[in-house]
Amino acid sequence: MAALGNLVEIYTDGACSGNPGPGGWGALLIYKGHERELSGGEADTTNNRMELMAAIQALESLKRPCRVRLHTDSTYVRSGITEWIQRWRQNGWRTAAKKPVKNADLWQRLQAALGEHQIDWRWVKGHAGDPGNERADALAREGVQAAVIPPTPSLPHKGGGGDV
């Protein structure tokens, strides 16, 4: 494994308008005083899927192995990655009750995104004034809005002659 450099602080959050419904995810990455914001959304999703996407997108954006402190207000994500995922894998992505793991596609993608990173998963109470979590929440809400607003249709081009 390559030498892991300085710490990258990551704050992630997901949001959904209805569950399911339009959803968004947001991530704030902080490294050596520099900040990077990421966000996105989907038209029909769940809050848990957006929480997972925030962590996935943040980790996939890292260009080399890093030490990471990842803050999430989702006990689903933190418990899933630190307690449940190994058993799910061993059970062929089935729960202890033999039911398919919900969001298995994203859990598998998150596991792949862990790569060679050294990650300290931290739970933070949501909507409690933590500046990083509040920024991630705002980015997730922006993602919801982007998913709700339909794209503007293209207008026909009115140009001079030709069959182009």
Q: What is the tens place of the pLDDT at every residue in 81-117? A: 999 999 999 999 999 999 999 999 999 999 999 999 9
Query: Residue 154 pLDDT > 90, yes or no?
Result: no
For residue 123, CA distances in Å to 37, 65, 82, 97, 150 come to 20, 22, 11, 26, 34
Give CA–CA dist 138/150, Å, rounded. Answer: 20
What is the edge-to-edge ordering of all strands in the sheet holding 118-123? Answer: 34-45, 21-31, 7-16, 67-72, 118-123
pTM higher than 0.95: no
Residue ranges covered by each domain of the chain: 7-148
Please state, for a pLDDT cut of 90, what percent of the chain lies above it. 85
**Domain 7-148 = CATH 3.40.470.10:** no
Give CA–CA dist 50/20, Å, rounded. Answer: 11
pLDDT of residue 160: 46
Helix or strand or coil: residue 30? strand
Give CA–CA dist 100/114, Å, rounded. Answer: 22
Give CA–CA dist 118/67, Å, rounded. Answer: 5
Q: Any idea which residues carry the catalytic annotation?
A: 13-14, 51, 73, 127, 137
Q: How many CB atoms lie within 10 A of CB 76?
A: 16
